[in-house]
């Protein structure tokens, strides 16, 4: 089984690698790492915001965010958060694709699932529609279930499996 440090190294080493495989352990170690990082980042962001008490009060009570006057430290933290989020999108997507490849799914089905999932998540941000929200939830659930499946489970399945 792969260690957490090895999974972390592979995550960054395979930044743009959308081919190949990622084991379940490699995937879930990064999920744990991401969860811990998110807790730390959120706590640090809260500390930065509450250090500037007036900004925190405005943030909590503001109803019109366009008139919010945040201090430079909070604005810088928000900018860094966006940058870090964008920095993590590609390797996370790469890891998900490689994990789905590892189940034995053909590349066509992997990309169909991932692109459909991404497009519904992006569309949900712009269109408030219950069917779209349900489609997003269903696709996310399907991908979650597929990620749980053991390695090469679909390898020789007709139509959806990849031929080796």
pLDDT digits over 103-154, tens only? 998 888 888 888 988 888 888 888 888 888 898 889 989 999 999 999 989 8
**How is residue 68 written in tokens?**
């919010």
- Cβ contacts of 79 within 8 Å, gap of 6 or more: none
pLDDT digits over 72-97, tens only? 788 888 899 999 999 999 999 999 99
Say what the alpha-carbon torsion angle 58, 62, 65, 66 is, to the nearest 10 degrees.
Answer: -80
Is the distance from CB of 147 to CB of 99 less than 8 angstroms?
Answer: yes
Place 32 in a pLDDT band, splitting at 50, 70 and 90: very high
Is the distance from CB of 47 to CB of 83 less than 8 angstroms?
Answer: no
pLDDT digits over 95-111, tens only? 999 999 999 988 888 88
CA atoms of 101 and 82, how far apart (whole Å)? 29
- Cβ contacts of 67 within 8 Å, gap of 6 or more: none
Report long-range pairs for 29-36 (Cβ below 8 Å, ≥24 apart): 29/2, 29/3, 29/4, 30/92, 30/95, 32/4, 33/4, 33/7, 33/8, 34/88, 34/92
CA atoms of 30 and 11, how far apart (whole Å)? 8
pTM of the model: 0.82
The angle at the Cα of 69, spanning 66 to 73, to the nearest 5 degrees, equals: 125
């Amino acid at each position: 089984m792969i260690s957490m440090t090895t999974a972390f190294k592979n995550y960054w080493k395979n930044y743009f690698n959308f081919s190949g495989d990622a084991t379940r352990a490699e995937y879930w170690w990064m999920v744990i790492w991401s969860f811990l990082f998110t807790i730390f980042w959120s706590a640090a962001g809260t500390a930065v915001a509450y250090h500037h008490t007036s900004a925190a009060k405005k943030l909590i009570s503001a109803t019109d965010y366009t008139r919010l006057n945040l201090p430079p430290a909070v604005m810088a933290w928000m900018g860094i958060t966006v940058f870090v989020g964008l920095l993590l999108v590609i390797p996370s997507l790469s890891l998900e694709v490689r994990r789905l490849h590892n189940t034995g799914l053909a590349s066509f089905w992997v990309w169909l699932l991932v692109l459909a999932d991404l497009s519904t998540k992006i569309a949900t941000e712009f269109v408030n529609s219950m069917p779209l929200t349900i489609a997003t939830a269903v696709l996310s659930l399907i991908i979650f279930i597929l990620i749980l499946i053991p390695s090469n489970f679909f390898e020789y399945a007709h139509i959806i499996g990849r031929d080796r």
